[in-house]
Each structure stands twice: as structure tokens, then as C-alpha cells.
């Protein structure tokens, strides 16, 4: 160290710095400059005590801060100098626990190339070992019980390291140095294959499972964050059987391909899509079907020209796809509307009527985590479901001291914890429609509050009084005497975009979705807001129409078709000889008509989603959806590529900035009577939605001078709407901002709720 004086320093890094190879990385950096000291995990991050020259220490501090391990995220860092400690070497020491503060946990990471090379090397001791991992990959979020992230605090605690694994764990030069899930066939978890009757099937579990899949059987496969149901997608009868057993008649199934080459056979994949598929998050990516996709059963994704496809992200998946079919249906293992199954006893009890066999292992899944889903729109990543690989990665949203729980919505639920300047979104919970899903929700919240050591200052929830999440928030608020903030649904949508894009000023917020409770007691969903993080005003909206039967109109969308017809014509008698009306049974037609006329059980809705339902039903595409937004998905499919907008249908925007679609409906009926194709009608309808919205934004801009527009809500999962809305606005001089971190659907609502609540507290 020359003649420069030796000083001591205390260095702290916080963020995602545990479970990502951070301490071994620090060890190697220190040895490069001959510094002495120690590094350890703490409740608050990583603590380093170090001796050396001031110049070397400062250089080391900057190196780590500016070039951390690829999986790490440093949110905060600090350095303070002191007298030297007197270290003679550099060591990694046992973690320090004080039960105060917290360190963000890393997401689960897909298997790295080095580990996969070992798995398929016949000479390696981990040959075909399905739980191979290192500091660069493997389970994190789904195995940790408490922080700090050490083996004793994970579900690997029950697996004692063998001498060889322990040697790797202690060797600073080894990539498994302090890799907490480290294991091998001698000391780690193992596999079993059991029948639906609970009997163990003899032989190599993976080979036997592969044989079953090749024969068309359904196999439940235990993965990182829960079970999948796997079946061979080229076998039509097998896929139909899975649909029937799972009670999922139409919603597309996800696929897992053996490798990127196989994925390219079935989908159109550009470089950005390939990068997403092969990323360490390894999400399901929605991609255009190729010609070869016709070899798959039509029941894999019957309503769309897109496939949801992912690559294997664990060694087990890689081995299974090498031994068996090159592509598999890999759908979440649950009965429709129930949460993901992740406990072994629950899997065998609830899935035995669906799966013919179970490929299970004895590494406990501490918390469930479903696969993430993303779309690519004009090269931009749009999250559809944010879960495995991304959760619980933080979103920095600015300095604040309050700790807030945002309870989320009732559908596509996630919740959000906001603490120390960051927002931590939960994994995907799903629809809170039954006891099991509500239990998963409440258990998830309790788990997050404990794991992140949250001391709540406030709670945020949706304005809807009947949401399960709202009632939960109200109960938690009462029990703990905490302030509760009711956040309007569409304001939360817009606030999520504001938070992601670090916008603090007012914007024009366009929120188009299915359902959101308005302060006037009606159901909103076609909204044009002037909003910032704290407040909003309704500057424009779709003209409300009756929703006969309330939520029943979501299940029987021809009701919305009738509602729009009556709004447009005044009476159904004004539309003689219209096939859509003639298809109704007379008693049902009269019953729905009387409901609309009387207003009984007919809440008003301005929902864009319900308008899509109505048009889809009128055209004859979908009158009884079997899953959320099926009618809208079929309309999008019918429109095709729609590279250029067509002439729109007629619509009107009145002096109060209400968009009237009654003229649109009249023109659609004329087109149908004249034999116009469903494709042409769908293209004109999509163009109408886009151009009416863009015109509305122009009117609000003229009134306010605001040039920034945010787009959010489930309708913006429709790539045609999103692409053309954005293009048309930008052509008119607007700056357009979208969701990138959370989905535009209700899966991103909790982020917005938390951000609005924080702004009101501050």
C-alpha cells in the first residue's frame, strides 16, 4: 500500500444485494486491490468494514457501486471513514440479524448457461441433476422464509451440504461461493413420480414423466413457484382432455419450448423477443403464430393469432423437454378461478382429477409465484402479468418516510408495499372470487409485511365498497387504528404510469378498461382524466348506458348488445329483421328489455370494455365469454394487422366532453344488414375507439394546455388500440407515457393506489 496512511471505512449497500452473488463479488474486488476487512449480510443490506488507503477504498467503493453483479440492484450506498480496524485478511462473515430494517429479496432467476453445461455433461457430478444452481441463478423469492438471505433462513435449511458442496460454498474462487441453494444428487432435493392414485411410479422420474407426456397424459410438474399442468400440445385429444378437466374451455394455454430454435419454429421471433425469452426473468412472451404453429392442436390458443411461449427456466424443465416432447403446454396448475397450487398436499388433493401423474420434489415452496407474461408492442415491453422473475424487484418512486400497504383490486389482484422510497409489488394473486383465493391474498399480505418488516402508517384501497380487498383494508385499518385512503380505480391506473415515468405534474390520463367504481356510484371505464399523483378530475368520458343484470352482463355479453341497441334506437321495434335480436328467446328478450326500461338492477356504465363486449356480441363473435375479455380478444383477432386506420364509424363528442357511440352502433347495424364482413366492421370499430379518444385528448389539450398523455387500463392490452392511440397522439404533438414496470390491467392498480395515498400523506 506504499507510504500512504492506512484508514478504516464502513461501507453499506442496500437494495437487491442478497442472493445475487454480491458478497463473493465484493471479495474478488477487494483482492484485486489488496484491501483487508469483512463483508456480511445484514437486515438492511450488505455491510463492509475495510482497511486500506483512502484512494484504494474510494476506488473500490465506486467500482462496486457503478458495476455491481448483473443480478444486483443498488438502491442506496454510503461510506464513512474511521480509524483502521486492524484486519489481516478479508473474509465473509456470518450474517448480522437485528430484526430491524430489511433488505429486498431477489426474484427467482432462470438457470444460467454454466449450470446447464454441467447438467448435460456426462462427466459432471451434477449430470441430469434437476436442482443445479449457483450464485447467478436458481430460486430466491420462493424459498426464503426470512431475511437476511442465508441458507438457514430458506427451505434449503433441511438439506445439509455434503463435503464437495460445502467446499464449493467456502471457496471464494468458485461460482457457488455462498450460493445458498447449492446442492447436488448426494445432499440436495430429489424427485418422485406418483400416480393420481398416490402410488409411486418406479424408474427415473423424469424419463417416466416424459414417456407419459409422449403418450398424451397430463402430468402435474412442481416447479419454482408452484405446479404446472403439462401436456403434449400436438395431441388434440390430450389438449381437449386437459381443457375439460381444468374447466377452461377457451382461454389460451401457455407453452414451453425446448430451446430458442424450437420456439422460432412455432412463433415469429425478432431480436427483442429473443432477448426477452432468454433473459434471466424468462417470462411467457406473447408472439405471433408461425405457419408451423398449425401443427399444434387448435385448442392450445383457439381465439387468437398469438401464442404465449416461454423457455425452460429450471434444470428440471430443461431435462424434461430433452427427454420428452420438444414443446409442452405448461399451464398454471389450478382449477379455474382458484389460486396457483404450490403445496404438495394441496396438489395431490385438488389436481388428482386433472393430472394422470405428479412429478414432485421435496424442496418446499415457501410462497407461490406464477409465471410472468409480457407482450411486445412496437418493440416496447408491455407487462401483462408481473410475477416470477420480476417480483419482488423494487420500483424507486422518490423519497418518502411513510410505510403504506396498497390493497389492490378485486380482479387480477396484486398488492403493493411502499417503504423507504420504493414500491414492492406482490406476485400475481388473481381474482378474489372464492375462499381459496382470498386466503392466498391475506396470507400473501401477512407474508410481505413480515418479510419486509413493515410498520404500517396507512392503507390504501379501491373506492368500490364490495371489493374483497376494500373490505380487508377496512378491517385492517380498524384493527390497527390506521388511516385508510380510498383511491378511485382509474386515478390509480393513471398514477401507476406517473410513478413509473417519474412524472409529478398534471397529465391527460386516458383510462380504458372494464370496470371501475366511480364516485357518482356508476361503473366507470371510458375515462379521460386531468390528473397528477394526488388529485384528478373527470374531463371526458364515454356516455353511460345501462348494464342489465349488473355483473351478469359480463357473463352474458349479448345483454350489453341489447343495451347499446336500445340506447341508439330508443326501442328494439325500430330494428326489424335484425338477426342478433331474432336469436333471443322471446321471454329472455322481454325480461332484459323491461330491466333496461325500468332501470331495475341496471347500473350505468361508461366502460370501454363493455362497449367491446357489445360489439363482439352484435357481430356474433362472442355472446357467452368463458374467460375475461374473450369478446375483445376475438374482435382484435378479426381486425388482423390493421397497419393503417380505416374511416371510423360516426360518433359524437358533446359540449360536456361525453363521447356518444349511439351513431356508431347504428352504422354497425347497417353494415351487418348489408352483409359487411366481421373483419371490416372490427377494423372500423377499432379505428373509432382510437380516433374518438385522440379527438378527446385534443379538446382537453386546447382547454388546459397539457401535452403529456398517459395510457392505462386493460383495453390497452389490445395491441391495435395501443399502437394506433400512441401513434396518433404523437403525430399531433403529444408526449405519450405507458406502463412498463406493471401491467396496464388491474395487476398494476395497487402501485397507483399506493402512490396516490403517499401523495395525500405527504
pLDDT digits over 402-452, tens only?
A: 999 999 999 999 999 999 899 999 999 999 999 999 999 999 999 999 999
Q: What is the mean pLDDT of residues 161-170?
A: 97
pLDDT over 50 (residue 496): yes
* 392-501+745-761 maps to CATH 3.90.1170.40: no
Least confident of 67-76, 278-287, 555-564: 67-76
Q: What is the mean pLDDT of residues 134-151?
A: 92
- Look at residue 398 in the predicted model and tell me its pLDDT: 87
Q: What is the mean pLDDT of residues 719-745?
A: 98
Grid cell in block for residue 511: 383510462
Cell 419482488 found at? 392
CATH value of 6-92 in 3.30.70.100, 3.40.50.620, 3.30.479.20, 3.30.2420.10: 3.30.70.100
* 191-374 maps to CATH 3.30.420.40: no
pLDDT over 50 (residue 1): no
pLDDT over 90 (residue 150): no
Reduce the DSSP state of residue 306 to 3 states and report it.
strand
- CA pair distance 210, 300, nearest whole angstrom: 19
Residues contacting 43, CB < 8 A, separation 6+: 96, 97, 98, 99, 100, 101, 102, 103, 147, 148, 453
Q: What is the pLDDT of residues 232-246, one digit of tens each?
A: 999 999 999 999 999
Nearest to residue 510, comparing CAs of 728, 220, 743, 737? Answer: 737
- CA pair distance 178, 252, nearest whole angstrom: 41
Q: What is the mean pLDDT of residues 312-333?
A: 97
CB 330 within 8 A of CB 228: yes
- Look at residue 31 in the predicted model and tell me its pLDDT: 80
DSSP-assigned beta bridge partners for residue 536:
531
Q: What is the pLDDT of residues 89-128, one digit of tens each?
A: 998 887 666 555 567 788 999 999 999 999 999 999 999 9
pLDDT over 90 (residue 41): no
Q: What is the mean pLDDT of residues 660-666?
A: 98
Percentage of residues in the chain having pLDDT higher than 90: 88
Grid cell in block for residue 197: 392414485
CB 233 within 8 A of CB 300: yes
- CA pair distance 388, 324, nearest whole angstrom: 25
Q: Which fold has domain 104-188?
A: DHBP synthase (3.90.870)
- CA pair distance 734, 358, nearest whole angstrom: 54
Residues contacting 231, CB < 8 A, separation 6+: 213, 216, 217, 218, 219, 238, 239, 241, 242, 328, 329
Task: Give 753's pLDDT tier (boundaries 50, 70, 90).
Answer: very high
Residues contacting 37, CB < 8 A, separation 6+: 30, 48, 49, 50, 51, 52, 85, 87, 90
Strands (E), 572-692: 604-605, 652-653, 658-660
User: What distances in angstroms separate CA 417 from CA 385, 464, 492, one per listed residue?
Assistant: 18, 20, 15
Average pLDDT, the chain: 95
- Look at residue 2 in the predicted model and tell me its pLDDT: 57
pLDDT over 90 (residue 24): no
Task: Give 23's pLDDT tier (boundaries 50, 70, 90).
Answer: confident
Cell 432462470 found at? 110
Residues contacting 600, CB < 8 A, separation 6+: none
Q: Do domains 392-501+745-761 and 523-530+539-737 have the same CATH topology?
A: yes
pTM for this predicted structure:
0.94
Give residue limits of the domains in the chain.
6-92, 104-188, 191-374, 392-501+745-761, 523-530+539-737
424's enclosing H/E stretch is: strand 422-425
Angle at 310 between CA 309 and CA 312, to 5 degrees: 145
- Look at residue 573 in the predicted model and tell me its pLDDT: 87
Environment class of 510 (CB within 10 Å of its CB; exposed 0-12, middle 13-18, buried 19+):
buried
Nearest to residue 410, comparing CAs of 350, 473, 366, 332? Answer: 473
DSSP 172: T
CATH number of 523-530+539-737: 3.30.420.40
Q: What is the mean pLDDT of residues 268-295?
A: 97
Amino acid at each position: 500500500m506504499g507510504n500512504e496512511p492506512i484508514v478504516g471505512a464502513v461501507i453499506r449497500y442496500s437494495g437487491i444485494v442478497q442472493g445475487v452473488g454480491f458478497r463473493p463479488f465484493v471479495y474478488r474486488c477487494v483482492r484485486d486491490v489488496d484491501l483487508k476487512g469483512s463483508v456480511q449480510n445484514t437486515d438492511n443490506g450488505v455491510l463492509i468494514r475495510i482497511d486500506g488507503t483512502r484512494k484504494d477504498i474510494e476506488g473500490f467503493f465506486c467500482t462496486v457501486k457503478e458495476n455491481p453483479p448483473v443480478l444486483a440492484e443498488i438502491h442506496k450506498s454510503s461510506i464513512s471513514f474511521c480509524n483502521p480496524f486492524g484486519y489481516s485478511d478479508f473474509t465473509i462473515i456470518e450474517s448480522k440479524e437485528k430484526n430491524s430494517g430489511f433488505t429486498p429479496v431477489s426474484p427467482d432467476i432462470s438457470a444460467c448457461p454454466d449450470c446447464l453445461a454441467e447438467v448435460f455433461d456426462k462427466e459432471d457430478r451434477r449430470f441430469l441433476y434437476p436442482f443445479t444452481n449457483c450464485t447467478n441463478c436458481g430460486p430466491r423469492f420462493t424459498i426464503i422464509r426470512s431475511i437476511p438471505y442465508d441458507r438457514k433462513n430458506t427451505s434449503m435449511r433441511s438439506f445439509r451440504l455434503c463435503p464437495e458442496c460445502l467446499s464449493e460454498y467456502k471457496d471464494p474462487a468458485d461460482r457457488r461461493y455462498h450460493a445458498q441453494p447449492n446442492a447436488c444428487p448426494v445432499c440436495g432435493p430429489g424427485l418422485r413420480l406418483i400416480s393420481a392414485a398416490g402410488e409411486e411410479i418406479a424408474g427415473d422420474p423424469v424419463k417416466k414423466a416424459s414417456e407419459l407426456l409422449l403418450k398424451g397424459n397430463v402430468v402435474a410438474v412442481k416447479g419454482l413457484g408452484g405446479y404446472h399442468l403439462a401436456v403434449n400440445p400436438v395431441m388434440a385429444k390430450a389438449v381437449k382432455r386437459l381443457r375439460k378437466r381444468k374447466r377452461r374451455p377457451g382461454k389460451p394455454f401457455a407453452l414451453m419450448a425446448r430451446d430458442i430454435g424450437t420456439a422460432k419454429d412455432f412463433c415469429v421471433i425478432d431480436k427483442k423477443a429473443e432477448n426477452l425469452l432468454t433473459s434471466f426473468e424468462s417470462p411467457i412472451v406473447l408472439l405471433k403464430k408461425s405457419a408451423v404453429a398449425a401443427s399444434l392442436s387448435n385448442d392450445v390458443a383457439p381465439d387468437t393469432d398469438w401464442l404465449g411461449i416461454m423457455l425452460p427456466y429450471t434444470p428440471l424443465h430443461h431435462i424434461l423437454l430433452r427427454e420428452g416432447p420438444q414443446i409442452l403446454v405448461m399451464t398454471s396448475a389450478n382449477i379455474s378461478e382458484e389460486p396457483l397450487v404450490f403445496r404438495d398436499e394441496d396438489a395431490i388433493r385438488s389436481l388428482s382429477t386433472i393430472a394422470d401423474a405428479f412429478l414432485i420434489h421435496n424442496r418446499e415452496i415457501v410462497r407461490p409465484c406464477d409465471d410472468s407474461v409480457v407482450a411486445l408492442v412496437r418493440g416496447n415491453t408491455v407487462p401483462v402479468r408481473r410475477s416470477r422473475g420480476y417480483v419482488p424487484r423494487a420500483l424507486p418512486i422518490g423519497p418518502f418516510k411513510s410505510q403504506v400497504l396498497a390493497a389492490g383490486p378485486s380482479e387480477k389482484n396484486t398488492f403493493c408495499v411502499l417503504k423507504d422510497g420504493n414500491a414492492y409489488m406482490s406476485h400475481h394473486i388473481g381474482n378474489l372470487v372464492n375462499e381459496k383465493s382470498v386466503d392466498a391474498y391475506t396470507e400473501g399480505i401477512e407474508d410481505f409485511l413480515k418479510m419486509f418488516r413493515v410498520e404500517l402508517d396507512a392503507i390504501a384501497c379501491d373506492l368500490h365498497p364490495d371489493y374483497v380487498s376494500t373490505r380487508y383494508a377496512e378491517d385492517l385499518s380498524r384493527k390497527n387504528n390506521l388511516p385508510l385512503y380510498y383511491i378511485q380505480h382509474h386515478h390509480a391506473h393513471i398514477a401507476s404510469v406517473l410513478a413509473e415515468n417519474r412524472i409529478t405534474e398534471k397529465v391527460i390520463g386516458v383510462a380504458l378498461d372494464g370496470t371501475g367504481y366511480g364516485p357518482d356510484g356508476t361503473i366507470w371505464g371510458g375515462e379521460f382524466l386531468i390528473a397528477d399523483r394526488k388529485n384528478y378530475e373527470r374531463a371526458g368520458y364515454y356516455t353511460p348506458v345501462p348494464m342489465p343484470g349488473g355483473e351478469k352482463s359480463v357473463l352474458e355479453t349479448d345483454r350489453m348488445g341489447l343495451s347499446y341497441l336500445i340506447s341508439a334506437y330508443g326501442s328494439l321495434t325500430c330494428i326489424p329483421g335484425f338477426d342478433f335480436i331474432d336469436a333471443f328467446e322471446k321471454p329472455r328478450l322481454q325480461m332484459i328489455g323491461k330491466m333496461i326500461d325500468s332501470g331495475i338492477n341496471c347500473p350505468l356504465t361508461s366502460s370501454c370494455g363493455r362497449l367491446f363486449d357489445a360489439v363482439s356480441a352484435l357481430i356474433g363473435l362472442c355472446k357467452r365469454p368463458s374467460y375475461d375479455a374473450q369478446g375483445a380478444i376475438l374482435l382484435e383477432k378479426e381486425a388482423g394487422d390493421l397497419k393503417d386506420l380505416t374511416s371510423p364509424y360516426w360518433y359524437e363528442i358533446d359540449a360536456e366532453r361525453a363521447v356518444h357511440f349511439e351513431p356508431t352502433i347504428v352504422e354497425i347495424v347497417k353494415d351487418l344488414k348489408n352483409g359487411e364482413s366481421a373483419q371490416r366492421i372490427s377494423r372500423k370499430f377499432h379505428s373509432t375507439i382510437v380516433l374518438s379518444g385522440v379527438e378527446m385528448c385534443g379538446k382537453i389539450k386546447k382547454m388546459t394546455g397539457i401535452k403529456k398523455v398517459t395510457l392505462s387500463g386493460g383495453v390497452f392490452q389490445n395491441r391495435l388500440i395501443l399502437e394506433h392511440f400512441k401513434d396518433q397522439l404523437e403525430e399531433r404533438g403529444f408526449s405519450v407515457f405507458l406502463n412498463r414496470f406493471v401491467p396496464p390491467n388491474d395487476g398494476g392498480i395497487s402501485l397507483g393506489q399506493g402512490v396516490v395515498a403517499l401523495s395525500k400523506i405527504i
